[in-house]
């Protein structure tokens, strides 16, 4: 059975930018009586900080940036903001001067003082307290000198000046909104905080979505590489510690052995025993040596010697995959609890080569699964008989069958309407680069366009 590759659009990971919400003054009006539908200019920077920066999943490696009021470019620092014991420290002079404060440094006492009308503060390097308008304020982390520059805890900026200091984790940005700016726009601190919280929640959700998509893409690429090389595990195979089921494909080009693709299964059990082929009960977790043919094995000089006289070459590839008789095999891993399928899955195969062998048959199997645990199955085969003098083609469609299914670990159980029950090995792969999902059901390989 050849897996038919179809090209899908894949997952569209583009994100529509946030269009911005309106901030209103408490009375809903501005001086002069005009209606205040304030799309405040600083929100343009906020959009970039939250919606844009929040989607940059590599932002964890970027330096922290500080945005002030409606300015669209971050403040310039000689020393980038740093994190110390879960506390963000920022260079004091550029930020406090931008806030309209005059700074003086006392070398003898190691104290810095900042002053502006109505506000006076001082703090000493290494101290976990500061003085703001005559009162003591505890610091999350002591004021620190880096390269001759004084850095102070981020939260202290707000406590000392009355500014709103907002942390945008995904974008690694600090949004500072001053009291003077809020007064000039006619909005309250409560209103600005609420809007910041709202936009941050949206940005956090988008960031989480982007990170999940990034993780899924990485897993898809890894699974695709594993599928191509026959390795579904992450650890290099140790021939002295084989355990569990390994499976892989061998091509049957003429189509006479198994219809295009032959799937090989080897289940290694404790006590140096192995089951060759698909177990009767489905996945390796259901192996029962009373019904399955468990045979002793040994590995010597690159040979897998199986009880009964079968000897096959065995090795580990350069990528760490198990190789038996030149077939690359991947280790089966259990499906997630509660796994369900949804959509129409297709499997194709053939007997003989059209135009070369006198009798050829190809078929397409359809199995439709629903998330509520039901399935239907159809089989369509197309046969061509070529006698040399004449050619006959025919097609037939099998009767549709229905039933229910459950997936547990590496076993899919099909319960047909009428009472028949079948169990098969089950494995599911993440979508490939074209958005196609491959599902292994016993010796059949099904696919669906994601």
pLDDT digits (tens, 9 = 90+) for 257-279: 676 788 899 999 999 999 999 99
Confidence of residue 8 (pLDDT cuts 50, 70, 90): very low
pLDDT, residue 30, reads 31
State residue 283's pLDDT score: 92
- Range in 157-171, 206-220, 280-294, 299-313 with the lowest mean pLDDT: 206-220
- Other C-beta atoms closer than 10 Å to the C-beta of 321 total 22
Task: Output the pTM of the full model.
Answer: 0.48
128 C-beta neighbours (distance < 10 Å), count? 14
| Rounded distance between C-alpha atoms, residue 364 and residue 3, angstroms | 10
**C-beta neighbour count of 353 within 10 angstroms:** 12
- Inform me whether the pLDDT recorded for 412 exceeds 90: yes
Lowest mean pLDDT among 68-82, 218-232, 322-336: 218-232
Is 437 within 8 Å of 413 (Cβ atoms)?
Answer: no
The strand pair at 129-132 and 135-138 is best described as antiparallel
Q: Measuring CA to CA, which residue among 64, 58, 123, 115 is closest to residue 89? A: 64
Q: Is the pLDDT of residue 42 over 70?
A: no
Alpha-carbon gap, residue 441 to 428, rounded angstroms: 9
For 303-352, write each residue's pLDDT tens digit.
Answer: 999 988 789 999 998 878 899 998 889 888 899 999 999 999 998 877 66
Tell me: pLDDT of 165 over 70: yes
Average pLDDT, the chain: 76
Percent of the chain scoring above 90 in pLDDT: 24
- What confidence tier does 60 reach under pLDDT thresholds 50, 70, 90? very low
How high is the pLDDT of residue 320? 82
Residue 191 pLDDT exceeds 80? yes
Sequence length of the chain is 450
Geometric angle at alpha carbon 97, from 93 and 101, rounded to 5°: 115
| Mean pLDDT of all residues in 118-142 | 89
Judged against a pLDDT cut of 60, whether residue 231 lies above it is answered with no
Map the chain to HEC letters: CCCCCCCCCCCCCCCCCCCCCCECCCCCECCCCCECCECCCHHHHHHHHHHHHHHCCCHHHCCCEEEECCCCCCCCCCCCCEEECCEEEEEHHHHHHHCCCEEEEECCCCEEEEEECCEEEEEECCCCEEEECCEEEECCCCCEEECCEEEEEHHHHHHHHCCEEEEECCCCEEEEECHHHHHHHCCCHHHHHHHHHHHHHHHHHHHHHHHHHHHHHHHHHHHHHHHHHCCCCCCCCCHHHCCEEEEEEEECCCCCCCCCEEEEEEEEECCCEEEECCCCCCCHHHCCCCCCCEEEEEEECCEEEECCCEEEEEEECCCCCEEECCEEEEECCCCCCCCCCCEEEEEEEEECCCCCCCEEEEEEEEEEECCCCEEEEEEEEEEEEECCCCEEEEEEECCCEEEEEEEECCEEEEEECCCCEEEEEEEECCCCCCCEEEEEECCEEEEEEC
Q: Is the pLDDT of residue 105 over 50?
A: yes
Which among 221, 271, 226 has a CA at the least distance from the CA of 246? 226
Tokens at 239, concatenated? 């021939």
The 10s digit of each residue's pLDDT in 436-447 is 888 999 988 898
Q: What is the pLDDT of residue 43?
A: 46
Q: In terms of pLDDT, which residue wins out, 340 or 160?
A: 340
Q: Give the pLDDT confidence of 352-385 residue by residue, as tens digits.
A: 654 445 556 777 888 999 999 999 988 655 555 5
Structure tokens at 69: 């009021």
């Amino acid at each position: 059975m050849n897996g038919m590759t179809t090209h899908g659009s894949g997952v569209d990971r583009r994100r529509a930018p946030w269009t911005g919400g309106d901030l209103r003054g408490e009375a809903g009006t501005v001086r002069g009586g005009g209606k205040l539908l304030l799309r405040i200019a600083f929100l343009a920077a906020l959009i970039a900080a939250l919606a844009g920066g929040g989607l940059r999943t590599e932002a964890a490696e970027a330096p922290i940036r500080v945005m002030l009021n409606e300015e669209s470019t971050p403040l310039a620092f000689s020393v980038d903001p740093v994190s110390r014991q879960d506390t963000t420290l920022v260079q004091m002079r550029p930020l406090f001067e931008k806030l309209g404060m005059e700074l003086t440094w006392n070398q003898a006492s190691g104290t810095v003082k900042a002053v502006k009308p109505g506000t006076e503060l001082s703090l000493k390097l290494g101290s976990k307290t500061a003085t703001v308008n005559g009162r003591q304020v505890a610091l999350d982390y002591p004021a620190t000198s880096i390269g001759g520059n004084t850095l102070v805890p981020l939260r202290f900026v707000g406590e000392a000046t009355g500014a709103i200091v907002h942390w945008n984790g995904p974008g690694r940005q600090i949004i500072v909104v001053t009291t003077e700016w809020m007064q000039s726009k006619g909005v309250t601190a409560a209103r600005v905080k609420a809007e910041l919280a709202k936009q941050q929640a949206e940005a956090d959700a988008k960031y989480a979505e982007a990170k999940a998509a990034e993780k899924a893409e990485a897993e898809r690429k890894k699974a695709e590489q594993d599928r191509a090389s026959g390795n579904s595990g992450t650890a290099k195979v140790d021939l002295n510690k084989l355990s569990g089921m390994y499976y892989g494909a061998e091509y049957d080009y003429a189509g006479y052995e198994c219809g295009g693709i032959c799937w090989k299964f080897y289940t290694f059990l404790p006590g140096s025993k192995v089951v060759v082929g698909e177990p009767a009960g489905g996945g390796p977790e259901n192996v029962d040596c009373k019904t399955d043919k468990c045979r002793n094995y040994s590995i010597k000089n690159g040979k897998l010697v199986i009880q009964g006289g079968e000897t096959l070459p065995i090795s580990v590839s350069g990528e760490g995959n198990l190789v038996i008789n030149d077939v690359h095999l991947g280790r089966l891993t259990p499906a997630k609890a509660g796994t369900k399928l949804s959509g129409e899955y297709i499997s194709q195969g053939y007997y003989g080569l059209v135009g070369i062998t006198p009798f050829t048959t190809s078929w397409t199997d359809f199995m439709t699964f629903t998330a509520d645990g039901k399935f239907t199955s159809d089989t369509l085969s197309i046969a061509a008989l070529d006698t040399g003098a004449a050619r006959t083609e025919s097609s037939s469609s099998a009767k549709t069958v229905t039933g229910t299914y459950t997936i547990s670990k590496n076993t899919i159980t099909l319960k047909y309407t009428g009472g028949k029950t079948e169990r098969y090995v089950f494995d599911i792969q993440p979508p490939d680069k074209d958005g196609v999902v491959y599902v292994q059901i016993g010796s059949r390989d099904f696919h669906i366009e994601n």
